[in-house]
Amino acid sequence: MRSIVVAGAIALCAVTGSAANAADRWARCELVVRGKTYINGRCNVEDMGEGSFALGVLRDDQPIPRKGFYFAYVDVNGDTAEAKWNEDRKEMHANASLGTLMRKGACWVNDIAKICVR
């Protein structure tokens, strides 16, 4: 009986762990705001569903860097998206709006920002 419970617990952990990791992935990211590049390279991307995503966010197993970090959220609604970011790398909330962006290939762009995930 004990082996059945242990096997069940291991199976449950494997399933839930896989489901949690399926929403996060590493990708090549780019975040440019007003012509300045804040992210250019490998970063974590979190799938928010229906095409929306967050890039540059920390995974649960990552410590917060002492110098801070940048991240952005892109809320996709059809052919456009609303984006926001944490303008100050020590800020833990994405409160600064980047406005409405249009999709161009692997990027979302407007006059203010360019956000890409490849």
List, in sequence order, the alpha helices (H) in the chain.
Answer: 2-22
Tens place of pLDDT per residue across the chain (118 aa): 433 333 333 333 333 333 344 468 999 999 999 999 999 999 999 999 999 999 999 988 899 999 999 999 999 999 999 999 999 999 999 999 999 999 999 999 999 999 999 9
Structure tokens at 36: 């300045």
Residue 76: CB partners within 8 Å, gap ≥ 6? 50, 51, 52, 53, 108
Q: What is the pTM of this model?
A: 0.79
Residue 59: CB partners within 8 Å, gap ≥ 6? 24, 44
